[in-house]
Amino acid sequence: MQPIETRLRVRYAETDQMGIVYYANYFIWMEVGRVEFCRLSGIRYRDVEADGFLLAVAESNCRYLAPARYDDEVVIATTLGDPSPRMPRFDYVIRDAATGRKLAEGFTKHIWCGPDLRPRKLPEKYWVNFGIERAKSN
């Protein structure tokens, strides 16, 4: 699957006392990228949740390479690193939109679960949107 690019402008509230984006905000940006990835792949979280499925974060990682600052425009490139019906992994590259400089890279690994937070397999009707092949179902 091709990367889905999402653009946003750094807000003042996202920066720390040094004028640099506070590290935890990169995870929020990853969520923005992931939601847009799903939406452009034909899936809205709202619809999946209405079917009784939640996508819980099981693991996350971010490597910070260069600072982003207030009013910079950044691009979040999101790809589905592992299209699993049980534990999908999303990969992210965050770049400065003006220079193309890589600011951060990371991933989030998730687990599909029900409202009771017990692990569940994603229904097959969503597989095509996530690029999941039948062989991955085991």
Using the predicted structure, report yes or no on whether residue 43 has a pLDDT greater than 90: no
What does each C-alpha distance from 103 to 43, 64, 74, 97, 106 come to in angstroms? 28, 6, 9, 10, 11
- Number of structural domains (the chain) is 1
Q: Is residue 138 part of a domain?
A: no
Q: Is residue 66 part of a domain?
A: yes
Instruction: Tell me the mean pLDDT in the region 39-68.
Output: 94
Instruction: Tell me the mean pLDDT in the region 120-134.
Output: 87
Place 67 in a pLDDT band, splitting at 50, 70 and 90.
very high
Instruction: Tell me the mean pLDDT in the region 77-81.
Output: 95
Q: Which domain holds residue 47?
A: 4-132
Q: Tell me the residue ranges of DSSP E strands in 13-117.
A: 54-64, 73-82, 89-96, 102-113
Place 135 in a pLDDT band, splitting at 50, 70 and 90.
low
Residue with tokens 């999908």: 88
Position 108 scores a pLDDT of 98
Q: Pick the catalytic residue: 16, 47, 51, 71?
A: 16
Burial of 36 (0-12, 13-18, 19+ CB in 10 A): middle
Position 130 scores a pLDDT of 85
Place 44 in a pLDDT band, splitting at 50, 70 and 90.
confident
Give the percent of the chain with pLDDT over 70: 96
Instruction: Tell me the mean pLDDT in the region 33-58.
Output: 92
Using the predicted structure, report yes or no on whether residue 93 has a pLDDT greater than 60: yes
84 phi and psi, to 5 degrees? -100, 140
Q: Which residue has the higher pLDDT, 83 or 107?
A: 107
Beta bridge partners of 109: 59, 89
Is-contact 45 110, C-beta < 8 A? no
Q: Is residue 137 part of a domain?
A: no
The reply to whether 16 belongs to the active site is yes
Q: Is residue 8 part of a domain?
A: yes
Is-contact 107 61, C-beta < 8 A? yes
- Note the pTM of the prediction, 2 decimals: 0.92
CATH code, domain with 11: 3.10.129.10
Q: Is residue 87 part of a domain?
A: yes
